[in-house]
Amino acid sequence: MNAAKKIFFMMLVVLILSVSSCRTAPIVRVSENNLSFIDHAIAQQDLGRIIILSGKELGWLMDREETGVIIATLLIQSHMAKAKITYDTDGFKIIYMDSSNLKYDGDKIHKSYNAWIRNLDSTIRENLELTENSQKILELDKDVYISRPEDGSYGDRLYYNSGKATANALKAEFDKYTPSVHIATNCHGENCFDQIDSDKYTYYVWPEILHWEDRTTKWSGTPDRVAIKIRIFNVKTKEEILTVSLKGRSTRVTLGDNLPQNLLSKPISNYLKTIY
């Protein structure tokens, strides 16, 4: 979910809570969600990782309490929802734990809570389905070094700091898989190999902006477009592990003007899910 969509989602939630504060319904409990909808076995560790990533995509705070148990908390202004997610190789459950300002009475709760839980459940399922065609190429918890690409352009216009924005977008997604991600500021491309500490970093990410088009979409109806190429190398061997091109495009109708860098988070996120 890119930044603009997340802001719109939060505004919509607040609006719903304010105009429909009396609307409650029986609380939703995801009590028996087996994994029959995917055609492959999945390790408990991998299922937990996918649950955590799915929650973070939607703005939940995800804390792994112990193996097989994750506490998910959503904070929106003065409203709080907390759920306990248990999981094993057979499936997962989402169980209500606590809330504030959501009119919970032991049986019913504000309808927004149910919508959040259904969305969380749906996102977990979607991400599990993505793993069917995934190839676990990169190892978790291995440090990553990212170079800052040269700024992108469209026609005669150069978009200053678009390289920095691209590197930051990559870092935000790699941060979900490793505790240490560094962005280089004084080297780019092949030159970075001489500066990377091979005892610390395992992977070198070399991005390149292929297309960067920032339009006033709100008024013109012309969508923003962005495309990048990512090359990932093993730092010690300097061997290229993979190359991929990713694209982002805004809708023609928008409440505000998306920035091209905000269009990168979803394609980067979806791709990393297939290689970690």
* Mean pLDDT rounded to a whole number for the chain: 84
pLDDT at residue 219 greater than cutoff 50: no
CA distance 112 to 115: 5
pLDDT at residue 164 in the model: 95
Residues of the chain with CATH 3.40.50.10610: 144-275
pLDDT at residue 216 in the model: 58
pLDDT digits (tens, 9 = 90+) for 117-139: 999 999 898 888 776 655 678 99
pLDDT digits (tens, 9 = 90+) for 37-56: 676 678 888 889 889 988 98
Q: Torsion over CA of 171, 231, 206 and 236, rounded to 10 degrees?
A: 100
CA distance 144 to 180: 7
pLDDT digits (tens, 9 = 90+) for 188-210: 889 999 999 999 999 999 999 99
pLDDT at residue 273 in the model: 84
pLDDT digits (tens, 9 = 90+) for 57-108: 888 999 998 889 999 999 998 999 999 999 998 889 999 999 999 999 988 9
pLDDT at residue 73 in the model: 96
pLDDT at residue 21 greater than cutoff 60: no
pLDDT at residue 65 in the model: 87
Q: What is the pTM of this model?
A: 0.58
- As a CATH number, domain 3-133 is 3.30.310
Bridge-based pairing state of the strands 153-154 and 108-110? unpaired
**Residues 161, 165, 170, 171, CA torsion sign:** positive
User: In this predicted model, which residue has the larger pLDDT, 254 or 24?
Assistant: 24
Mean pLDDT (whole number) for 245-266: 69
pLDDT at residue 249 in the model: 77
pLDDT at residue 23 in the model: 82
Mean pLDDT (whole number) for 221-226: 75
Residues of the chain with CATH 3.30.310: 3-133
Superfamily, domain 144-275? ABC-type transport auxiliary lipoprotein component (3.40.50.10610)
CA distance 245 to 227: 7
pLDDT at residue 182 greater than cutoff 80: yes
Q: What is the DSSP string of the chain?
A: --HHHHHHHHHHHHHHHHH-TT-EEEPP-EEEEESTTSSS---HHHHHHHHHHHHHHTT-EEEEEETTEEEEEEEETTEEEEEEEEEETTEEEEEEEEEESS---SSEEEHHHHHHHHHHHHHHHHHHHHGGG----SPTT--EEEEPPPPPEETTEE-TTHHHHHHHHHHHHHTTT-S-EEEESS--GGGGGGTS-TTT--EEEEEEEEEEE---HHHH-PPPEEEEEEEEEETTT--EEEEEEEEEE--SS-SS---GGGGTHHHHHHHHHHH-
pLDDT band at residue 16 under the 50/70/90 scheme:
low
pLDDT at residue 89 in the model: 85
pLDDT band at residue 252 under the 50/70/90 scheme:
very low
- What is the percentage of the chain residues whose pLDDT exceeds 90? 46
- Please name every residue paired with 109 in a beta bridge, in sequence order, or none if there are none: 25
Among residues 70, 40, 66, the alpha carbon closest in space to that of 53 is found at 70
pLDDT at residue 32 in the model: 67
CA distance 224 to 181: 28
CA distance 185 to 4: 27
